[in-house]
Amino acid sequence: MAQRHRTVENSLNQENMHAKVATKAVIPPRGTVPKRTALGDVNLSEANKLSNVNSNNNGMAKKDGVMGPPQVLPKKTVTGVSTKNSSESYSSKQISIIDPDENTKNDPQMVTEYIADIFNYLLELECKFPIRKHYLQGHQSSPKMRAILVNWLIEVHMDFKLFVETLFLCIAIVDRYLQENIYISCASLQLVGITAMIIARKYEQTYYPDLDDYVYICDDTFSKTQIVQMERDILEKLNFNLGRPISLHFLRRYNKIAQVRMDHHTLGKYLLELALLEYDMSHIRPSIQAAAACCLSIGILNEIMDLPKIWTPTLVHYTTYKYSDIKITIVDLAHLIAKAETSKHQMSRYKYSTPVFAKISLSSKLHGPLIRKLTSTPLTKK
């Protein structure tokens, strides 16, 4: 079958280019990957690395990982009438809906006839397997301990060159398990995190992880037996339900609907990774986080101050969210951007300062008037 032309899909499939595909576990030679004691603060001199990158780059790279202008899809109204007719009434133009799958309807690999059902099902799953608000209340672990753990897991994810889906699923497993087990203390929290990474890797990757590598990267704090026992306990607590969707699934779909460039998508991923670190955002539904990241990334890079204009009738139709539904989450994400540079947890910012991710975390637009406007709004009471 002849290869068909793609716009956003080809670029989104390149997000995991940094993850080395192999038939067995991949880990750098021992001695080159820093060991980490249980829940110890990450110490890779991130600040020095970022300052060096900042001194050589004043903004986002113009070419690395950035797509050209997106292909404009044909517009259709709800009744199938083109919106190009200048004689149409104002109200009819306001309900015009662009079909984002128009160019892929004949491609069996894109399964366009099932997309609506698939995402409706994902919306059901995120409600079926929620993360409770303030789930660490009365817990032996704390939000600060969770943030340190997530920052370390991002580093482990980078060291092992894993798929980005593996990281998001790993953090979701950690949150869902912690809300079911209040007796996890600082001593065993790292064991939960590394075991969740192993489970996520089995779920998302194409090769089986080597437990010896995980024991090594934890500085032999835990044995293989302890990891296997924790894996069994996590799966039992979650009743083997690992299908809760991640925000990245929704971001890809929403960005296709919005017909964004690759740098928009990269910034959206960066926003969602910053949200992984934030305990106060862990309970927000992945689809809402993705919708907010999609809207905010377009506003930042296109320097659009009036964000409701970005959230078109097409996006409302396909995401099922009005702008008012995502407004608070957009403000929360803006505050995360504003404090990212001074945060103690720098792994995600360092990761997105590399050319693989178009150095998006170093973009001067992240300190632009839109972020200043949004951060002037006080955070909602969590």
Q: Are residues 370 and 252 in the same domain?
A: yes
Do the domain assignments include residue 50?
A: no
Q: Are residues 164 and 204 in the same domain?
A: yes
Residues 174/360/353/18 CA torsion (nearest 10 deg): 70
Q: What is the pTM of this model?
A: 0.78
How many folded domains does the chain comprise? 3
Q: Are residues 271 and 193 in the same domain?
A: no
Q: Are residues 190 and 162 in the same domain?
A: yes
Q: Are residues 208 and 326 in the same domain?
A: no
Q: Are residues 338 and 251 in the same domain?
A: yes
Do the domain assignments include residue 224?
A: yes
Do the domain assignments include residue 36?
A: no
Q: Are residues 224 and 342 in the same domain?
A: no
Q: Are residues 261 and 359 in the same domain?
A: yes
Q: Are residues 278 and 171 in the same domain?
A: no
Q: Are residues 231 and 260 in the same domain?
A: no
Do the domain assignments include residue 129?
A: no
Task: pLDDT tens for the chain, 382 residues: list them.
Answer: 434 334 444 544 567 666 654 444 444 555 455 555 545 443 333 444 444 444 444 434 333 333 444 443 443 333 333 333 444 443 334 457 888 888 888 888 888 888 989 999 999 999 999 999 999 998 989 999 999 999 999 999 999 999 999 999 999 999 999 999 999 988 899 999 999 999 999 999 988 778 999 999 998 899 999 999 999 999 999 999 999 999 999 999 999 999 999 999 999 999 999 999 999 999 999 999 999 999 999 999 999 999 999 999 999 999 999 999 999 999 999 999 999 999 999 999 999 999 999 999 999 999 999 999 999 966 655 4
Closest CA to 150 of 219, 196, 184: 196
Do the domain assignments include residue 20?
A: no
Which of 209, 237, 265 lies at the terminal end of a domain, its last residue? Answer: 237
Do the domain assignments include residue 271?
A: yes
CA 265 from centroid of its chain's CA atoms: 10
Q: How far apart are CA 286 and CA 292, in angstroms?
A: 10
Q: Are residues 210 and 254 in the same domain?
A: no
Which residues are registered as beta bridge partners of 76? 97
CATH number at residue 314: 1.10.472.10
User: What Å distances lie between residue 254 and 34, 109, 125, 258, 317, CA to CA?
Assistant: 37, 19, 18, 6, 11
Residue-number span of the structural domain to which 94 is assigned: 75-110
Q: Are residues 229 and 339 in the same domain?
A: no
